[in-house]
Amino acid sequence: MTKAFVVGHPIKHSRSPLIHGHWLKAYGLDGSYERIDVAPVDFGDFLRGFHAQGFAGGNVTLPHKEMAFHGVERRTERAQRVGAVNTLWLKDGVLWGDNTDALGFIGNLDASLGTGWEQDVETVLVLGAGGAARAVVAGLQDRPLKRIFVANRTGSKAEDLARDLRPGSAVSLETAAWEALGRVIPHAQLIVNTTSLGMAGQPPLAIDLSRAPRNAVVTDIVYVPLETPLLAAAAAQNLRTVDGLGMLLHQAVPGFRRWFGVTPEVTPELRAVILADLEAAR
C-alpha cells in the first residue's frame, strides 16, 4: 500500500485528506493519505525520516513550506522560482521538492474561464506579496501576458518579490503602491487577491472595482468564505469571478500523480465533497 501525507502545524483544518481520499476511492487504489502535525523544531527530523515510516511523499503546508525548500536535496525550477516547497517525493533515493500552487492557480483559471483566457488579458494586478503571491506570479509568468503589477500594504515586500521573480521573465513585472491602486485597476483585466483580507475572521479587502474594465476577471485564492467580500463586490459590478476552491483542488493533482501513479481529475463531485465539508464546518 502506498502512503502519503500532509504535514503542517496545526494541521487539523487541512482538507487535503478529503481530496486525496476521494481520488483513492474513485480510482480504486490501495493507498492512504493522512494528516501529520509536526512542530517547526521537529520538521528537519521529519523530512529525513518520513521514508523510513513507509511514506512515498506528501504535501507541506504552513508553516513549513520555506523550511522544506531548504531541506530538500533537489528542487524543480518552479519551486526554485517561488522559494517554497509544498510537495515532496523520493526518486532514486533523492528527496525532491516542488511547488504546485502555481499550477493550481493557473489550472483553476483554465477550468473556470476556458483555455485561452489569457488572450483577453494584457495586464494583471496581484494583491499581496507573500508566498502565495509568489506562486501566483510564477504561474502567470508562464502565460503570454504583457505586464503584472504587484501591490502590497508593505511596499518593500512587493519590491522584493519583483526583484526575485523578474530575472528571465518575458512578462514585465512591476510594483504598484497600495495607495495608488485606483490608477492600476482601470487597466487590469485580471485582479487577483492573495492576501488574507476577506478571509473568515479577517477584515474585508476594500478596493473600488467600479473603474475596472468591463471584461475584467476577479479571483481570490481565499475559499473560506467561498464568496469573499471582494468577489461579492466584483459580482455587484457584473464582473466575472473565480473563487479560490479550485486552486486547492488543482494544486493537489501533481502530487497524487507522483505518489499513486494516476493523474486524477478535478470533477464536480470532488468539489461537492469539499463544499459539503466547508458547509458542515460553518
CA–CA gap between residue 165 and residue 155 (Å, rounded): 16
State the cell numbers at 172. 514585465
Catalytic annotation present for 25: no
On whether the CB atoms of residues 16 and 252 are closer than 8 A, the answer is yes
Per annotation, catalytic residue among 3, 12, 25, 65: 65
Distances 100 to 75, 85, 107, 162, 247 between C-alpha atoms, Å: 12, 8, 10, 20, 10
CA–CA gap between residue 43 and residue 39 (Å, rounded): 6
| Phi, psi (deg, nearest 5) at residue 139 | -65, -40
* 3-class DSSP state of 108: helix
Could you tell me which of 144, 196, 142, 152 has the C-alpha nearest to residue 174? 152
List the catalytic residues. Answer: 65
